[in-house]
Amino acid sequence: MEAAVKAPDSHAESTLERLIRENQVSLKRLCYLYLHDQAMAEDAVQETFLKVYRSLKDFRGEASEKTYLTRIAINTCKDMLRSAWFRHVDRRVTPEELPSRRETDPAYREVAAAVMNLPRKLREVILLYYYRGLTMEEIAEVLEISQPAVSGRLKRAREKLKAELKGESIDEE
């Protein structure tokens, strides 16, 4: 069981510092995988931590830290995707344009691009389940949908990825 976010007023800054230190990179990568844009991902993470900082006093510790941060980050990304600018831009990515280190296996890039090019609702469950490591229950909480809906979307996402990756299947567990 993960630690819940607990931040007495006087310790808000140190709590924020810890949360940023521990989660910044993974959240930024999650936002990039979701938004397909590095600058936007950077902004989404800053916005996420700002929201977290301003609501620390009200947080009751009912959700795990990871779920709490992920929910805010995903909702921030969704707000960005609703903007007119995003709707009118082709957001598909190619493996070559991913921000990888030079030594990254090209096959990895292909898999990542396939995940990023999934329809949004399928992309988000894959990212939350496989990348963020949330349980079905936590994903249902983050996305505010039922667990069967999470399971259904994961199934469709795996099928679509398998077809996209020419037979490379993704394990359920």
Partner 1 sequence: MKNKELKNCLDDAVSGIGENPWLLSRVLSRAESMEDTPVKKKFAFGTVQVVLTIILLMSVGIASFSGLNRTDSQTDNNPVSLSAPAISGMEAETEHARLKLESPVYDGTSIYLNWCLENKNPEVPMWCWAEKFSVNGIEFDFIDYNLEEEWLPGEYTEDGTIWHEWLTQLPEELIGAETIHVEMKINTSRPVRPWKMLDTEDAFREELESLIAEGYYVIPAYREDEETYWPEGYFEPEEDLNVCPNGWTIAVSGGPLPDDTMGDIIVETLDVSFDAVKPEPGNGLTLLQTQDAYEDEYCTAVFEKAEGTSLALYLTVRMKPKDNHDLSPRYWALEWKGLTDQKGIDASLTPSKKEYPSPDHEGETVCELCWEGITPEILPDTIYLTTRLKNYELVRFPIQVRSSGT
**Chain contacts with partner 1 (rule: CB under 8 A):** 13, 16-17, 20, 24-25, 28-29, 32-33, 37-43, 45-47, 49-50, 53-55, 58, 79, 83-85, 87-89, 95, 98-101, 104-105, 108-109, 111-113, 115, 119, 121, 127, 130-131, 133, 145-146, 148-149, 152-153, 168-171, 173
Cβ 89 to partner 1 shortest distance, Å = 8
Cβ 63 to partner 1 shortest distance, Å = 17
Task: Give 7 or 33: the residue with its C-beta nearer to partner 1.
Answer: 33
Q: How far lies 7's CA from each of 18, 24, 50, in Å?
A: 11, 18, 14
Cβ 45 to partner 1 shortest distance, Å = 7
Task: Provide the 10 A C-beta neighbour count for residue 42.
Answer: 13
Task: Give 4 or 20: the residue with its C-beta nearer to partner 1.
Answer: 20
Cβ 62 to partner 1 shortest distance, Å = 16
The string of DSSP letters for 55-110 reads HGGG--S-SBHHHHHHHHHHHHHHHHHTSHHHHTS-----GGGS---TTS-HHHHH
Tokens linked to 75: 């909702």
Closest CA to 40 of 49, 53, 31: 31
